[in-house]
Structure 1
């Protein structure tokens, strides 16, 4: 039995907002509820509603910029920067800039639509 798994076909999460989400490991891709690792591209002008996730989320920016509103504080990360947002923190993610933002998101425990607690728009 192999002690590793190479992910060649991540689960592509269907979206309606132009965001590309490829989950390499997690609930949707391999049933792992402990951690999720996703490669994402948020198009220029993209935003999500505020949310209060029940998981810690780590974000590493590969290209472009991403805006976070955390407890009414606006934080902008650029390529090469990363952030950890603790669970049960109200926040909003967006890309109000003119270029797409490519990033990695790691959630502990794994992301699930039931535990992200998105607010109505």
Structure 2
């Protein structure tokens, strides 16, 4: 019998959070041990924000619903549904949702997201 050349993900890993954000990693370090790429479906509630960070991975974000704010070094960028962005590794960035509506988005990191590579500021 031939080996399947695809992996169907029906049970993404729900990353525990304390800030109201939901993170479901479909592929990456926690789900299938892949350190080259991670793909996660996220929902950031209204008022959510993270500390500044300087990740050691490229991060691609595609907004499905709502809006998300990015402070990228000295620029403030707001993405809306249907828009996407690539933020290059070793770039200081802060993610937030200061808007009234929750923001649903897909995040893809290469190499895969890892707490050891995110370099969050205290």
TM-score range, shorter chain: over 0.9
Matches of 1:115 and 1:40, distance apart in 2: 19
Shift of 1:72: 1.8
Q: What TM-score, normalized to structure 1?
A: 0.98
Match of 1:62 among 58, 61, 64: 64
Match of 2:50? Answer: 48
Matches of 1:92 and 1:29, distance apart in 2: 25
Runs (4+) off by over 2 Å: none
Matches of 2:51 and 2:27, distance apart in 1: 24
Matches of 1:71 and 1:6, distance apart in 2: 37
Q: Unpaired segments of 5 or more residues in structure 2?
A: none
Q: What TM-score, normalized to structure 2?
A: 0.98
Q: What are the within-5 Å matches in structure 2 for residues 77-116 of structure 1?
A: 77-116=79-118
Q: Which of 1 and 2 has greater Rg?
A: 2
Please, what is the CA RMSD of the aligned residues? Answer: 0.4
Give the total of aligned pairs.
120
